[in-house]
């Protein structure tokens, strides 16, 4: 059986389209290739970007800043002694870029200047930490990045 050049081109295009369609279906059905948004409502998030930058600048202007460190027990956040611990209010958001299902928040309610996030809640890898807090009516936003072994 002899195939002319027109039939060959049609067969080649059909094979190429099948090849591309196979990979599209594979990527859409496999959870390994999930493409999640960083923020669910990113338009609302971007509308508040100016306010966020003011809070970040407030945190940068502090003479004594909270210190976020990785320890054997987990992640500790230590506020300087100039702050009265029970007047600090806010939340700590831990964001896992590779898996949205691991994200969680912890409220800041202190009786001493140290907040511990237990290692049992943290899976190994990269964690983005956003600490939104208020003290004496002024809002602060501290951002940090930490790697857990």
Domain locations along the chain: 1-35, 42-148
Instruction: Name the token pair of 65.
Output: 């800043």
Q: Using 50, 70 and 90 to split pLDDT, how confident is the model at 37?
A: low
pLDDT attached to residue 30: 79
Instruction: Name the token pair of 37.
Output: 């948004």
Complete DSSP assignment for 31-78 = GGG----SSTTHHHHHHTHHHHHHHHHHHHT-SS--EEEE-SSEEEEE
pLDDT at position 35 over 70? no
Q: Using 50, 70 and 90 to split pLDDT, how confident is the model at 145?
A: very high
pLDDT attached to residue 69: 92
Per-residue pLDDT reduced to its tens digit, 54-104: 999 999 999 999 999 999 999 999 999 999 998 999 999 999 887 888 889
| Mean of all residue pLDDT scores within the chain | 88
Task: Quote the radius of gyration of the chain (alpha carbons, Å).
Answer: 25
38: Cα separation from own chain's centroid: 7
Task: Read off the pLDDT of each residue in 137-149 and give the average, rounded to a whole number.
Answer: 91
What is 42-148's CATH superfamily? Immunoglobulins (2.60.40.10)
d(CA 71, CA 142): 19
């Amino acid at each position: 059986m002899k195939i002319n050049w027109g039939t060959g081109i049609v067969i080649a295009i059909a094979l190429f389209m099948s090849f591309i369609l196979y990979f599209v279906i594979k990527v859409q059905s496999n959870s390994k290739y999930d493409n999640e948004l960083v923020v669910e409502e990113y338009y609302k998030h971007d509308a508040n970007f100016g306010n966020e930058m003011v809070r970040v600048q407030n945190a940068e202007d502090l003479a004594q800043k909270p210190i976020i460190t990785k320890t054997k027990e987990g992640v500790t956040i230590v506020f300087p002694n100039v702050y009265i611990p029970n007047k600090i209010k806010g939340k700590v958001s831990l964001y896992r870029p590779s898996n949205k299902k691991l994200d969680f928040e912890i409220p800041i309610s202190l009786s001493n200047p140290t907040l511990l996030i237990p290692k049992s809640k943290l899976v190994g890898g990269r964690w983005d930490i956003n600490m939104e807090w208020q003290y004496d009516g002024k809002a602060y936003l501290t951002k940090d990045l930490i790697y857990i072994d």
